[in-house]
Amino acid sequence: MTRHQRQIRRAQLLRIFAQGMLFLTLLMLSGIVIFILASGLPHINMQLLFGDYGKYPSIKPALLGTLSLTLLALVIAAPIGIGTALFLTEYTRTRSHLIRAIRIASETLSGIPSIVYGIFGYLVFAVALGFKYSLLGGGITLAIMILPLVVRSTEESLLAVPQSLREASLALGASKVRMIFTIVLPCAMSGILTSLILAAGRVISESAVLILTIGMVVNKMPESLMSPGTSLALDVYYFGSNGYPEQAAATGVVLLIVMIGINLLAVFLGKVFGKGELMHG
């Protein structure tokens, strides 16, 4: 074999290898989805979804729990995160020490394993503040957990707003506040919404934080935000480890569908709001 032929042969081998790996990835992904659907779908029924938790288990408390945790986390994290990002992009010098310090802090925060947030939330809210196990404590802890994500992606959306639009509005006599509310925030809206939705995805799929903060009470509807509760992800864990494999699989399907819906919503919002923006970069 000549050198040239050997090169061609090697290129072919690499191509075959890469194709094989791609196939393997797709196989695993679709395998998981198909497996979960196959083992879960037959067991989804009205009792499981909306029935009262009695003789047969139900995920109604978890649906309410996940919904309230998601709203709680977003309501807390969105204003704080967007405010922080606005401060970083519109009110500080680009290379200041403060920005660098905040960036290091937020990167560190986003690298912390979620169980550590969980123990923090447990010690602070459940124990020190005396909330006991509560949806509120869990929601606040989740808000803290997603904050770096919200700050970072909001900051990126704000930075993507062309400087020329800021200059144009200021040159027309707009104050900084007017510039931010009429130009900067509307232009960054799709990015901000997308980041909030992806953050909601993190909240919905989280379980470690919640085991330690909301108590995994699967069989009772929470009465208020101070009640203990459960979430879809926790129910999967609970059913799986307490002799309800069919319900665990069915809940997994529900969780999967919610997550797919969330991601489609993010893509959709990006398209709707993203039109026509940032055309003059």
Partner 1 sequence: MGKNAISVKDCNLHYGSVPALKNVTMDIRERKVTALIGPSGCGKSTFLRIFNRMNDLIESCRITGEILVEGNDIYASGVDVIQLRKTVGMVFQKPNPFPMSIYDNIAFAPRTFGIRKKAELSEIIERTLYRAGLWYEVKDRLHQSALGLSGGQQQRLCIARALAAEPRILLMDEPTSALDPISTGTIEALIMELKAEYTIVIVTHNMQQATRISDKTAFFLLGELVEYGGTQKVFSNPFDGRTESYITGRFG
- From 20-28, 43-51, 112-120, 164-172, span contacting partner 1 (CB under 8 A): 164-172
Which amino acid is it at 137?
G
Using CB under 8 A, pick the residue from 19, 182, 224, 242 that binds partner 1: 182
Among the listed ranges 73-81, 182-190, 196-204, 214-222, the one in contact with partner 1 (CB under 8 A) is 182-190
| Residue window 73-112: x/- pattern of binding to partner 1, with contact defined by CB under 8 A | --------------------x-------------------
Report the nearest approach of partner 1 to the CB of residue 150 (Å): 23
Residue 117: burial class (beta carbons within 10 Å; 0-12, 13-18, 19+): buried
> Whose Cβ is closer to partner 1: residue 179's or residue 258's?
179
278 belongs to the binding site for partner 1 (CB under 8 A)? yes
Beta-bridged to residue 229, according to DSSP, are 215
Ramachandran area for residue 162 (φ above 0: left; ψ -120 to 50: alpha; else beta): beta
The owner of tokens 């198909």 is 34
Does 169 contact partner 1 by CB under 8 A? yes
Between 25 and 92, CB nearer to partner 1: 92
Give CA–CA dist 19/10, Å, rounded. Answer: 14
Tokens (6 digits) for 206: 């989280």
Residue 273, CA distances (Å) to 1, 15, 90, 163, 268 in order? 58, 39, 22, 19, 9
* Residue whose CB is less far from partner 1, 69 or 269: 269
Choose which of 25, 175, 241, 242 interacts with partner 1 (CB under 8 A). Answer: 175
Q: Which of 90, 156, 246, 277 binds partner 1 (CB under 8 A)?
A: 277
Minimal CA–CA distance to 179: which of 164, 192, 169?
A: 169
Verify binding: residue 168, partner 1, rule CB under 8 A. Answer: yes
Q: Which stretch binds partner 1 (CB under 8 A): 55-63, 76-84, 122-130, 181-189?
A: 181-189
22-41 burial: b if 16+ Cβ within 10 Å, else e: eeeeeeeeeeeeeebeebbe
Count Cβ atoms below 10 Å from residue 70 Cβ, excluding itself: 21
Indicate whether 189 belongs to the interface with partner 1 (CB under 8 A).
Answer: no
Q: How far is the CB of 171 from partner 1 (least distance, A)?
A: 4
* Using rule CB under 8 A, residue 188 touches partner 1: no
